[in-house]
Amino acid sequence: MSETAENMVLVINSGSSSIKYQLLDPDSGVVAASGMVERIGEDEGGLEHRVDGETTERREPIADHAAGLRLVFDTFAATGHDLVREGVRAVGHRVVHGGEVFYRPTLIDDDVVASISELAALAPLHNPANVAGIESARALLPGVPQVAVFDTAFFHGLPAAAKTYAIDAKVAAAHGIRKYGFHGTSHEYVSGRAAELLGRDPAELNQIVFHLGNGASASAIRGGRPVDTSMGLTPLEGLVMGTRSGDLDPGIVAHLARSAHLDIDRIDALLNRDSGIKGLSGVNDFRELRRLIASGDEAARLAYDVYIHRLRRYLGAYLIELGGVDAITFTAGVGENSPQVRADALAGLSRFGIEVDPVANTAESRAARFISPSGAPVAVLVVPTNEELAIARAARQLVERRG
């Protein structure tokens, strides 16, 4: 490994029991090293660290996020980058919920950490874990600027009609209840790349983006600004996901409480962890789902049909909200890798100018690409998302602006 880390950005995505990270050059996007700490707080923890095509594995209990990040730094030092000695240009942290407070990349200080902690009421699973990652990184790299990039930020300016829930306005105001939207870094990055590939100014384009990973969301974007998105106050609303239900009748929550005597945490867990594709079919990975469908499993077939039905419902809504669309883009694990999902989501829509070329759609490629026939009125694209690069660039830009 040749280059030193001083001009690179360390991007940290700290989850409740994991830390994903990348050390990368924000200009070229070249990743010097990446990895993941898993099962923090459990008996059997571990780390996988990749550098120059080589993977280093460590299996040991990891007590907390601070211990996890120390192990990451030790492994960096052992494999060529002593981050403490070399320094890095900045650390970029993915933070899930910025609430009403944060809507652009923000330089982290004690007050910012306190505000992110306070937003835990809106994101109890995510924000405390993000704070743990931030505090660990600040302790290890005290002189290095740390930047928070918020998953909600891109959607901050949603039109009032799109972000307002039709409940008692005083209750909503007292509890911060509005549509915030998530996966914003991905929707912004992917829609920007789609405009680049089209050779058009984003300001001229109406776009729909489907981020279909384990979590899944859709957005409608006019002139580079989002006008609607499927996730809401929390990442539970909207599309059917790996383990999350997405949209449902809110009356189901009260019904479960009264009839099944489930307390609110159990219902929350049911809807977030045991629903979606997993709740319907028993598996949450799309590759396994396809195998089950191929073997004639009817529950898996139904799960897939519900998934596609929901996608198309959002597609229809966003087509009308935008008054026509120039580009539809698929991204994330399922969106980038499942030609079947892309074909089924857009089937039978040629009267709206929406067509998928079967050869382009099934071609093996990891590159950003068009999958609509040439000359089609609506461009359909697959664009691999790269949230780490977007976070690294945002962090570097903020640090440079400060001089």
Q: Which residues are catalytic?
A: 151
337: annotated binding-site residue? Answer: yes
- Which residue from 46, 92, 184, 213 is in contact with ligand AMP, where contact means CB under 6 A? 213
Using CA atoms, how far apart are residues 199 and 372, in angstroms rounded to an integer? 16
Strand order, beta sheet including 9-14: 54-59, 46-51, 31-38, 19-24, 9-14, 90-95, 146-150, 106-107
For residue 5, give both structure tokens: 């880390």
> How far apart are CB 264 and ligand AMP at their closest, in Å?
27
- Closest-approach residue to ligand AMP (CB): 333
> How far apart are CB 272 and ligand AMP at their closest, in Å?
15
Helical spans, DSSP H, in 200-331: 251-259, 264-273, 276-281, 286-294, 298-322
The conformation of residue 373, written as its DSSP 8-state character, comes to: P
Beta carbons of 240 and 284 less than 8 angstroms apart: no
User: Which residues fall within 8 angstroms of residue 228, CB to CB, at 6 or more apart?
Assistant: 158, 159, 162, 219, 220, 317, 318, 321
- Which residue from 35, 242, 246, 384 is in contact with ligand AMP, where contact means CB under 6 A? 242
Q: Does 361 bind ligand AMP (CB under 6 A)?
A: no
- In terms of Cβ atoms closer than 10 Å to its own Cβ (0-12, 13-18, 19+), residue 258 is exposed
> How far apart are CB 335 and ligand AMP at their closest, in Å?
8
The conformation of residue 55, written as its DSSP 8-state character, comes to: E
> How far apart are CB 292 and ligand AMP at their closest, in Å?
12
Which is closer to ligand AMP, CB of 4 or CB of 337?
A: 337
Length of the chain equals 403
Which is closer to ligand AMP, CB of 36 or CB of 271?
A: 36
Number of neighbouring beta carbons within 10 Å of residue 107: 15
Q: Does 337 bind ligand AMP (CB under 6 A)?
A: yes
Q: Does 184 bind ligand AMP (CB under 6 A)?
A: no
Using CA atoms, how far apart are residues 95 and 394, in angstroms rounded to an integer? 13
Q: Does 130 bind ligand AMP (CB under 6 A)?
A: no
Q: Which of positions 9-38 make contact with ligand AMP (CB under 6 A)?
A: none
Which is closer to ligand AMP, CB of 210 or CB of 286?
A: 286
334: annotated binding-site residue? Answer: yes
Contact window for ligand AMP (CB under 6 A) among 4-12, 228-236, 281-289, 307-315: 281-289
Which is closer to ligand AMP, CB of 233 or CB of 283?
A: 283
| Pairing mode of beta strands 46-51, 106-107 | unpaired
Which is closer to ligand AMP, CB of 79 or CB of 214?
A: 214
Q: Which of positions 297-336 make contact with ligand AMP (CB under 6 A)?
A: 332-334
Beta carbons of 315 and 324 less than 8 angstroms apart: no
- The per-residue b/e assignment along 207-245, b for 16 or more CB within 10 angstroms, e otherwise, is bbbbbbbbbbbbbbbbeeebbbbbbbbbbbbbbbbbbbb
> How far apart are CB 87 and ligand AMP at their closest, in Å?
31
- Which residue from 155, 189, 286, 318 is in contact with ligand AMP, where contact means CB under 6 A? 286
Number of neighbouring beta carbons within 10 Å of residue 12: 23
336: annotated binding-site residue? Answer: yes
335: annotated binding-site residue? Answer: yes
- Which residue from 4, 16, 115, 214 is in contact with ligand AMP, where contact means CB under 6 A? 214
- Which residue from 247, 285, 297, 357 is in contact with ligand AMP, where contact means CB under 6 A? 285
Which is closer to ligand AMP, CB of 112 or CB of 218?
A: 218
* Alpha carbon of residue 75 to chain centroid: 27
Q: Does 287 bind ligand AMP (CB under 6 A)?
A: yes
> How far apart are CB 307 and ligand AMP at their closest, in Å?
11
387: annotated binding-site residue? Answer: yes
Number of residues lying near ligand AMP (CB under 6 A) = 11
For residue 233, give both structure tokens: 């106050």
175: annotated binding-site residue? Answer: no
Which is closer to ligand AMP, CB of 180 or CB of 210?
A: 210
127: annotated binding-site residue? Answer: no
User: Which residues fall within 8 angstroms of residue 114, CB to CB, at 6 or more apart?
Assistant: none
Annotated binding site for substrate: 94
Q: Which residues are near ligand AMP by CB under 6 A?
A: 213-214, 242, 285-287, 332-334, 337-338
